[in-house]
Structure 1
Amino acid sequence: MRIKPYLWALAVGVALTACQQGARQQSSGDSALAAGALGAPFSDEYYDSLKTAMTAYYQLSGALIKGDTLGADVAAASLKTHLDSLPIARLGIDSSRAANLAVSTGNISAELAGLLIEKGGLDARRLSFQMVSDQLYDLLQTTGFKGHAIYRQHCPMAFNNRGAHWLSDTTEVVNPYFGDEMLHCGSVTDTLRFQ
């Protein structure tokens, strides 16, 4: 069956219009994100506590960058302590939402406990760090992080080319999965800016 030229032109025109409209919608969504449209609805007490936990997370990342297993253990223990003490019960949210947040922080804490107990070397610590990073990213998306920006970064070569993410407070890529071997391997894949 042969398509008549005027039908072909009509189909191409409709497709181009749809693509342009989709691009405009994407562009307006990008500008809203760039303007920092994500909210952080909880108390300063919660976000001050979360800031302390994130500082420990960044210390853990820094220790892995240096290949410092002792430093990684100290930072992981600090991160676990701070996550365990997040004031979730005082957030003023319904009990099911509070329970979900408690489960989320509990899962991260359990992964950190496993990292501290097993002591399987630098590679095992980096694998646990990957899981902590993914779970912490989900937590931050749920609660926000008032007044902060989080950059989710990705190394496609980590763990035999399976790839892995981590979080940073800067756009500079400093890879905790390879350290000095490939210090700047990776890219920023997402930015969360909170009001």
Structure 2
Amino acid sequence: MRLVITGLVVAFSFTACNQPAETKSTDIVESTPVGTASPADLKDENVQNVYDDYLKLKDVLISSDFSGARQAGEQLAVSLSKIDGCENTAGLATKISSSDDLKAQRVHFTALSADVVALMKHTDVSSGELYVQYCPMANEGEGGYWLAAEKEVRNPYYGDEMLNCGEVKETIGVGKN
């Protein structure tokens, strides 16, 4: 079962909303320095909207607010629908928006995050940095990635239960190779 889930996450990351672009900038980060940063500015307005709406969804999941996650998921689905090839990812956001169960929302967030992380790796960043974070305990030990605007880990899979569980795995931004 673990192999199947890992395979699905890898498959999602390769499809990345079917965006045909080069990875402009990534950098592996060894540790998780604590600090804050402004959200990155992206060159494509539609992708910027996806990023901004994704961050809202992540933040309400950190707060363990299933109702807020429903609203944020609905808005993210609208933003994703404006990008060709992101229909399946928009469907994942819609599943979050239609769920009354926080645990189910977080499971859908795992697959959604795989797609959104891959999309961001294939977009041009005007300024700032995006942080790819990872919690090895998410999804019953299968692990889960997410994007953040800051290096400080705030875990959307566990909220207050394990707020700082995780680490920065990658930085996406101007000048990162």
Q: Same fold (TM over 0.5)?
A: yes
CA distance in 1, matches of 2:165, 2:148: 14
More strand by share: 2
Aligned length: 138
Higher helix fraction (1 or 2) = 1
Paired residues of 2:67 and 2:100 also in contact (CA < 8 A)? no
The gaps in structure 2 that reach 5 residues or longer are 1-24, 28-40
Q: Which aligned pairs between 1:57-72 and structure 2 lie closer than 5 A?
A: 57-72=54-69
Match of 2:88 among 107, 114, 126: 107
User: Aligned residue for 1:25?
Assistant: none
Letter in 1 for 2:69: A
The answer to whether the Cα contact below 8 Å between 2:66 and 2:100 also exists between their aligned partners in 1 is: no
SS class of match (1:53): helix
Alignment partner for residue 54 of structure 1, among 51, 54, 79? Answer: 51
Letter in 2 for 1:187: E
Separation in 1, partners of 2:75, 2:126: 21
1:150 aligns with 2:114: no
Name the SS for the 2:126 alignment partner. coil
2:114 aligned to 121, 129, 134, which one? 134
Distance 1:142 1:66 in 2: 29
RMSD over aligned Cα, in angstroms? Answer: 2.2
**Amino acid paired to 1:106:** E
Aligned to 1:89: none
Q: For CA contacts below 8 A with separation 6 or more, give which structure has more relative contact order.
A: 2
Say yes or no: does 1:116 pair with 2:97. yes
Closer/same/farther in 2, CA of residues 45 and 164 from structure 1, 3 Å limit: closer
Instruction: Give TM-score scaled by structure 2 length.
Output: 0.71
Give runs of ≥4 in structure 1 deviating > 6 Å: none
